[in-house]
């Protein structure tokens, strides 16, 4: 008998029609990538994907980082005969805590003498005879025992939820504005989880923001990399722009003008490196600069779609995801961000496009953006 991991992918991939093959291939490559430094085997049996590895727990951990994997099941591969099937099914019920179960049998090997229904019935009866507190519930069981009969038979009951979503790299690309805060890493993760290829840009105001703040952002990009395999991080110098705004613009308009510069640089880098869109960690109403009017004025500076996957999420829910993906502990480390250094006492909460365009026109916008893009550092 061998133990294997059965990998199931998001039902959405089944809906892809003619493109299904493309999505499956990408997912397969991504799974192979997370195992590339370990000894493993990728086994395909009639459309079913199995991973054979020495350390199952480690294998599960790896698969839980792959976007598009919806479920991981620990499977026992046994000989195809009723005696072995019954014994193995009985063993597998002890992996569950529920009180009601259902047997689901699939018979791919039609030469097996009994029908699926017969197998389910016989195995169910055997489990009832050999346990005390379990009952069958075919409508809403606490757990399933799955039996798949092929040349060999696969029995499984333990299911582990994967992160779901779509295979990474199947849905275009985005430039994530990655600050050191809680929100933007979560926004990046959510895009990656839907298959969007991630690149990050961080605006660094040396010496007002320390080297340590930059290291923190690199660390966050490193955590996101667990889900993406690789990640490009661009660090754009922002001090000159920030000082220019502070010296030439009204205090209550500092934040919104600064945001527009960030947006322009992000778009410029996106254009330079062939990246389709921009993503931010903004959430409507969260702070003064994230009002509807504020977001509209920021968008006005963009030349491509700007995505805000957290737009309708509450902070507590964003924090939950941050904990779950492992960025929270790093995000809360107390290093300053360029937005937290020069915060106006009363930022404008209802800025208007025309008004802000006029206010910023005293600056050499194109020159400043060009210089920042030219001096951007690259890490991966």
Q: Please give the annotated binding residues, written as ranges.
A: 177-178, 202-203, 259, 281, 290
Q: Binding to ligand ATP by residue 256, rule CB under 6 A?
A: no
Choose the one of ligand ATP, Mg ion, none that binds residue 228, judging by a C-beta under 5 to 8 angstroms depending on kind.
none
Would you say 288 and 255 are in contact if contact means Cβ atoms under 8 Å apart?
A: yes
Q: Binding to ligand ATP by residue 169, rule CB under 6 A?
A: no
Q: Which residues pair with 69 in a beta bridge?
A: 9
Query: Between residues 24 and 337, which has the closer beta carbon with respect to Mg ion?
Result: 337
- Interacting stretch for ligand ATP, rule CB under 6 A, among 32-40, 105-113, 275-283, 347-355? 275-283
Would you say 362 and 273 are in contact if contact means Cβ atoms under 8 Å apart?
A: no
Footprint on residues 189-218 left by ligand ATP (CB under 6 A)? 201-203
Choose the one of ligand ATP, Mg ion, none that binds residue 202, judging by a C-beta under 5 to 8 angstroms depending on kind.
ligand ATP
- Report d(CA 213, CA 304) in Å as an integer: 28
Would you say 65 and 33 are in contact if contact means Cβ atoms under 8 Å apart?
A: no
Tokens read off for 361: 């026109």
Tell me the H-state helices in the chain. Answer: 11-14, 20-34, 56-63, 82-93, 116-130, 183-193, 211-228, 239-248, 254-272, 292-299, 315-325, 328-331, 338-341, 353-360, 365-374
CB of 234 to ligand ATP, least distance (A): 10
Alpha carbon distances (Å) from 295 to 287, 313, 317 = 11, 16, 21
Query: Between residues 63 and 297, which has the closer beta carbon with respect to Mg ion?
Result: 297
- Report d(CA 93, CA 101) in Å as an integer: 8
* Per-residue interface string for the shown chain with Mg ion, residues 173-192, x marking contact by CB under 5 A: ------x-x-----------
Q: Which residues pair with 237 in a beta bridge?
A: 204
Footprint on residues 335-354 left by ligand ATP (CB under 6 A)? 337-339
Q: Binding to ligand ATP by residue 77, rule CB under 6 A?
A: no
CB of 331 to ligand ATP, least distance (A): 7
Please give the annotated binding residues for ATP, written as ranges: 177-178, 202-203, 259, 281, 290
Q: Binding to ligand ATP by residue 281, rule CB under 6 A?
A: yes
Residues that bind ligand ATP (CB under 6 A): 177-179, 181-184, 201-203, 262, 280-282, 286-287, 289, 337-339
């Amino acid at each position: 008998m061998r133990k294997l991991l059965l990998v199931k992918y998001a039902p959405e991939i089944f809906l892809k029609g003619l493109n299904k093959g493309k999505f499956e291939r990408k997912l397969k490559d991504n799974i192979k990538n997370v195992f590339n430094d370990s000894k493993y085997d990728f086994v395909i049996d009639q459309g079913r994907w199995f991973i054979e590895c020495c350390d199952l727990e480690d294998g599960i951990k790896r698969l839980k980082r792959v976007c598009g994997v919806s479920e991981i099941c620990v499977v026992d591969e046994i000989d195809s005969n009723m005696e072995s099937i019954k014994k193995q099914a009985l063993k597998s019920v002890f992996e569950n805590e529920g009180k009601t179960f259902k047997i689901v049998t699939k018979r791919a090997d039609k030469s097996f003498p009994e029908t699926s229904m017969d197998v389910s019935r016989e195995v169910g009866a055997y489990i009832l005879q050999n346990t005390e507190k379990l009952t069958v519930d075919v409508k809403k069981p606490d757990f399933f025992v799955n039996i798949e009969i092929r040349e060999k038979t696969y029995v499984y009951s333990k299911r582990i939820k994967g992160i779901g979503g779509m295979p990474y790299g199947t849905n275009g690309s985005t430039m994530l504005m990655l600050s050191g805060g809680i929100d933007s890493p979560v926004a990046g993760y959510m895009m990656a989880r839907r298959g969007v290829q991630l690149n990050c840009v961080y605006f660094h105001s040396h010496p007002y923001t320390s080297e340590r703040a930059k290291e923190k952002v690199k660390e966050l990009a490193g955590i996101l990399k667990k889900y993406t395999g690789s990640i490009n991080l661009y660090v754009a110098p922002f001090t000159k722009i920030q000082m220019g705004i502070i010296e030439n613009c009204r205090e209550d308009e500092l934040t919104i003008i600064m945001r527009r510069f960030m947006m322009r640089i992000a778009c410029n880098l996106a254009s330079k490196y062939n990246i389709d869109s921009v993503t931010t960690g903004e959430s409507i109403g969260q702070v003064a600069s994230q009002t509807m009017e504020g977001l509209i004025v920021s968008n006005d500076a963009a030349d491509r779609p700007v995505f805000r996957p957290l737009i309708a999420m509450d902070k507590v829910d964003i924090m939950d995801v941050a904990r779950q993906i492992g960025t929270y502990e790093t995000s809360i480390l107390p290093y300053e961000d360029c937005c937290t250094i020069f915060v106006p006492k009363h930022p404008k909460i209802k800025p208007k496009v025309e008004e802000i365009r006029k206010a910023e026109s005293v600056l050499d916008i194109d020159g400043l953006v060009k210089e920042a893009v030219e001096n951007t550092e690259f890490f991966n």
